[in-house]
Amino acid sequence: MKKYDYLIVGSGLFGAVFARQAVDSGKSVLVIEKRDHTGGNLHCKNINGINVHEYGAHIFHTNNRMVWEYFNKYAECNRYTNSPVANYKGEIYNLPFNMNTFNRMWGVVTPEQAKRKIDEQRAIINHEPRNLEEQAISLVGVDIYTKLIKGYTEKQWGRDCTQLPAFIIKRLPVRYTYDNNYFNDRYQGIPIGGYNVLIDALLEGSDIELGVDYNENREKYDALAERIVYTGTIDSYYRYRFGKLEYRSLRFETVELEEENYQGVAVVNYTDRETPFTRIIEHKHFEYGTQPATVITREYPAEWREGMEPYYPVNDEANQSLYRKYAELAAKEPRTIFGGRLAEYKYYDMDKVIESALQKASEELAGR
Ligand code: FAD
Ligand code: UDP
């Protein structure tokens, strides 16, 4: 008999949801985490009463009522609706692309006028789009592509829009209504008190050790538990035996300002090529803060190198086929379950991570 039923490697959302389900089924759980705090990329740092999203802005949104209710059981969401604005050389446009954007861009007032304008501009692409530039122009025309997409995208991905796959831009909604809500999902909000409230509630009842890297202490921790849930990078689990997967990283520059309201909205995207950062987040607006001071974060895209946080998987063909080789090995592991965005090398929103963790936990726990 080992000391714990489950060892969970990583205290991010996947690990925390799994831990909650296991503890609720009467299992004993040890969570180990290499950072000095729990929560993974959801972690918030409280600065002068403001919950600062330390690893980038996180807005919870979902179409799945069961996931919404699960989330709200542990941390109640406020009514935050993401309505970012774009700043192109001082000109301000609403996002996502909608009638407010088209009105500001061309002075058009009705949906029909906007459609006519976009149709004129997209006529130059008369074949199936072969790259992101062609996809964007065929979706919204040349003006919006030039002012709101090209610079932002090239900064974000570190390559020219003609060298990027078309699918990246298919995520962006285009609307012929005056609706600045960024997401189409039915439910949306920010947990009142920040994401740490959620993570703390999910981890209640589990033992936690911080500052421990599983891959450097494997024998010790394997000996402590019957079964293992691993949420770190899959290539590091296998000591990079087939090669390294690629990621995009980010650098965050956070400053406290002695003013009440810096930009009037939580998220401003800087869409020109020259400004080196992609966006500025003013954290207090996620929770309608009224503090006398404010905290802002500039977000700079960066090529990932060892030692940096791996934020976005680069899901191109070469990386996907490398990932599949690791996934084949993972499928054969007798007592380790792999889950979450690093172990599955997948761009996962929070709601999808919760769905996946609940699914895997229910399959796992049903038989035990
Ligand atoms: P993680 O949060 O990465 O957790 C993994 C944990 O495992 C980490 O704490 C890590 O330190 C730990 N770990 C890794 N290796 C080891 C090891 N060897 N030993 C011990 N511990 C280890 N989703 C949304 O729904 N809405 C948003 O607005 C949104 N915005 C985002 C913005 C940014 C900039 C990024 C990067 C992501 C965003 N996401 C958003 C996605 C969201 O962050 C993820 O869905 C979620 O964090 C995934 O949880 P996870 O547990 O899979 O991974
Ligand atoms: N994008 C853009 N201009 C913007 C915002 C987004 O061109 O003002 C493009 C960009 O290519 C980005 C993609 O849309 O990579 C997806 O952006 P989104 O904000 O949905 O995703 P995130 O960066 O939060 O993962």
User: Does any ligand 2 atom lie closer than 6 A to the CB of residue 149?
Assistant: yes
Q: Structural domain boundaries of the chain?
A: 4-80+187-245+314-366, 98-168
State the CB neighbour count (10 A cutoff) for residue 110: 12
Nearest CA to 319 out of 354, 346, 289, 282 is that of: 346
Is beta strand 60-62 parallel, antiparallel or unpaired with respect to 187-189? antiparallel
Q: What is the pLDDT of residues 347-365, one digit of tens each?
A: 999 999 999 999 999 999 9
Is 349 catalytic? The answer is yes
Is beta strand 4-9 parallel, antiparallel or unpaired with respect to 225-230? parallel
What's the CA gap between 283 and 56, in Å, rounded?
10
Residue 37 has pLDDT above 70, yes or no: yes
Span from the CA of 269 to the centroid of ligand 2 (angstroms): 9
Span from the CA of 136 to the centroid of ligand 1 (angstroms): 29
Is 171 catalytic? The answer is yes
Q: Give, using CA atoms, the residue closest to atom 12 of ligand 1.
A: 10
Q: HSE on the CB side for 117, CA within 13 Å?
A: 20
pTM over 0.85: yes
User: Does any ligand 2 atom lie closer than 6 A to the CB of residue 169?
Assistant: yes
pLDDT at 61: 98
Residue 171 has pLDDT above 70, yes or no: no
Ligand 1, CB within 6 Å, residue ranges:
9-15, 32-35, 40-42, 56-60, 213-215, 231-232, 250, 311, 340-342, 348-351, 353
Q: Which of the four pLDDT bands, split at 50, 70 and 90, describes residue 170?
A: confident
Q: Which residues of 310-340 are buried (b: 16+ CB within 10 A; e: fewer)?
A: bbbbbbeeebeebbeebeeebeeeeebbbbb
Q: Give, using CA atoms, the residue closest to atom 13 of ligand 2.
A: 169
Return the amino acid letter for 348. Y
- Whole-angstrom CA distances from 118 to 40, 110, 243, 303 are 41, 13, 45, 34
What's the CA gap between 121 and 107, in Å, rounded?
15
Ligand located closest to 281 CA = 1
Instruction: Give percent of the chain with pLDDT exceeding 70.
Output: 99
pLDDT at 243: 96
Is 347 catalytic? The answer is yes
Write down the residue that tokens 């954290």 correspond to: 283
What's the CA gap between 11 and 278, in Å, rounded?
28
User: What number does CATH give the domain 4-80+187-245+314-366?
Assistant: 3.40.50.720
Residue 169 has pLDDT above 90, yes or no: no
Q: Give, using CA atoms, the residue closest to atom 19 of ligand 2.
A: 172
Record the tokens describing residue 64, joined without a space. 């799945």
Span from the CA of 147 to the centroid of ligand 2 (angstroms): 13
Q: Coil, strand or helix: which one is 135? A: helix
Cis? peptide before 292, omega within 30° of 0: no
- The answer to which of 69-78, 103-112, 304-313, 335-344 has the lowest mean pLDDT is 304-313
Is 175 catalytic? The answer is yes
Q: What is the pLDDT of residues 76-97, one digit of tens each?
A: 999 999 999 999 999 999 999 9
- Residue 124, judged by CB atoms within 10 A of its CB (0-12, 13-18, 19+), counts as exposed
Return the amino acid letter for 283. H
Nearest CA to 141 out of 163, 115, 162 is that of: 115
Average pLDDT, the chain: 96
Q: Which of the four pLDDT bands, split at 50, 70 and 90, describes residue 137?
A: very high
Q: Is the dihedral of CA 25, 28, 32, 38 positive or negative?
A: positive
Q: What is the pLDDT of residues 277-305, one digit of tens each?
A: 999 999 999 999 999 999 999 999 998 88
Q: Which of the four pLDDT bands, split at 50, 70 and 90, describes residue 231?
A: very high
Per this entry, what is the length of the chain?
Answer: 368
For 104, the enclosing helix (H) or strand (E) is helix 99-106
Residue 140 has pLDDT above 70, yes or no: yes
User: Does any ligand 2 atom lie closer than 6 A to the CB of residue 278?
Assistant: no
In sequence order, the β-bridge partners of residue 174 are: 97
